[in-house]
Amino acid sequence: MRRLRRSLLLVGLALAPASLASAADIDLAYGAFQAGHYRRAQEEALKRIEADNTDAAAMTLLGEIYRLGLGVPENTTAATEWYERAADRGDINAAYALAIALLDQRNSKRDPAKAGQLLERAAAAGHPAANYNLALALLAIGKETDDKRAVAAIEIAAKAGIGDAEHALGVLYKQGRSVPQDNTKAAEWMAKAAESGNVAGEIEYAIMLFNGEGVAADETAAAKLFLRAAYKGNAIAQNRIARLYLAGRGIAPDSAEAAAWHLAARAQGLDDPMLDQLLDRMTPEQMNRIARVAADRIEGTALTTPSQPSK
When pLDDT is cut at 50, 70 and 90, the band that residue 142 belongs to is confident
**CATH tag for 9-125 (out of 1.10.1200.10, 2.30.29.30, 1.25.40.10, 1.10.10.10):** 1.25.40.10
* CATH topology identical between 9-125 and 139-217: yes
Q: Residue 227 in contact with residue 254, Cβ under 8 Å?
A: no
139-217 CATH fold: 1.25.40
For the chain, give every domain's residue range.
9-125, 139-217, 235-311
- Please give the mean pLDDT across all residues of the chain: 88
Residue 264, C-beta contacts closer than 8 angstroms, at least 6 positions apart:
230, 235, 238, 294, 297, 298
What percentage of the chain reaches a pLDDT higher than 90?
77
* Residue-wise pLDDT tens digits, 144-191: 888 899 999 999 999 999 999 999 999 999 999 999 999 999 999 999
Q: What one-letter code names the amino acid at 274?
A: M
* Residue-wise pLDDT tens digits, 48-72: 999 999 999 999 999 999 999 999 9
Indicate if the pLDDT at residue 81 is higher than 80: yes
Which of 7 and 286 is assigned the larger pLDDT?
286
Q: Residue range 99-122: average pLDDT?
A: 89
How far apart, in whole angstroms, are the C-alpha atoms of residue 24 and residue 13?
Answer: 8
When pLDDT is cut at 50, 70 and 90, the band that residue 301 belongs to is confident
DSSP string, the chain: -PPP---SHHHHGGGS-HHHHHHHHH-HHHHHHHTT-HHHHHHHHHHHHHH-TT-HHHHHHHHHHHHHTSSS---HHHHHHHHHHHHHTT-HHHHHHHHHHTT-TT-TT--HHHHHHHHHHHHHTT-HHHHHHHHHHHHHH--HHHHHHHHHHHHHHHHTT-HHHHHHHHHHHHHTSSS---HHHHHHHHHHHHHTT-HHHHHHHHHHHHHTSSS---HHHHHHHHHHHHHTT-HHHHHHHHHHHHHTSSS---HHHHHHHHHHHHHTT---HHHHHHHHTS-HHHHHHHHHHHHHHHHHHHHHSPPPP--
How far apart, in whole angstroms, are the C-alpha atoms of residue 192 and residue 165?
Answer: 10
Q: Residue range 285-297: average pLDDT?
A: 94
When pLDDT is cut at 50, 70 and 90, the band that residue 106 belongs to is confident
Closest Cα partner for 153 from 21, 5, 308, 22? Answer: 5
Indicate if the pLDDT at residue 75 is higher than 80: yes
Q: Residue 114 in contact with residue 15, Cβ under 8 Å?
A: no
Q: Residue 239 in contact with residue 272, Cβ under 8 Å?
A: yes
Q: Residue range 200-221: average pLDDT?
A: 98
When pLDDT is cut at 50, 70 and 90, the band that residue 303 belongs to is low
Q: Residue range 23-40: average pLDDT?
A: 82
Indicate if the pLDDT at residue 272 is higher than 90: yes
